[in-house]
Amino acid sequence: MSSELERVSGLIREVEDFPQPGVLFRDLSPLLADAEGFRVVVEEMAAHGTEADVDVVVGIEARGFLLGAAVALRLGLGVVGVRKPGKLPAVAHRVDYALEYGTATLELPEGTLRRGARALVVDDVLATGGTVEAACSLVEHAEAEVSAVSVVMELAALNGRRRLAGRKVRSLLTV
């Protein structure tokens, strides 16, 4: 691991028993608040988008919005936010999925992804893979293509990568 990524790793706070007992939450807030750490993450994620030849970034609510917008700006591309329910005036499609500690729903805003677009799906953490898999499903339902997935941190013990088999997945850190 490079010294830059070691520094990034040190900026991620671990919070025990959040959002429920038994869950160890990885909080990227200190990382996002650190200009140099944030720059490193954005540059690394943007490099993955360049390698995958993408033409749009899809950020998953909420931290994926922050990361996705910065990565899209760095790549000179647009960004599409995949949202939690009840936030959009016009929904193209929605998908329900399982989390490590419950269930959730994501929605794609109507008219935001063009058919054939090559997307880089961006999020903060890959845990069980349900959230990223749901976002990929929304992209594909819009007849766009998931060219790559980029996350800051992968929780290897939860084996979320198996749900994304066949996809180009890059995590900057694996714990």
Q: Decide: residue 90, CB within 10 A, 0-12 exposed, 13-18 middle, 19+ buried.
A: exposed
Rg (C-alpha) for the chain, rounded Å, is: 15
Q: Which of 44, 61, 63, 170 is catalytic?
A: 63
Task: Give pLDDT, residue 23.
Answer: 86
Reported as a single tens digit per residue, the pLDDT across 116-142 is 999 999 999 999 999 999 999 999 999
Range of the domain at 33: 3-174
CATH (domain of 97): 3.40.50.2020
Query: Domain tally for the chain?
Result: 1
pTM of the predicted structure, to 2 decimals: 0.95
Assess whether 100 carries a catalytic annotation: yes
CB 75, CB 45: distance < 8 Å: no
Q: Which of 4, 51, 100, 140 is catalytic?
A: 100
- Kindly indicate the confidence band of residue 20, based on its pLDDT and cuts at 50, 70 and 90: confident
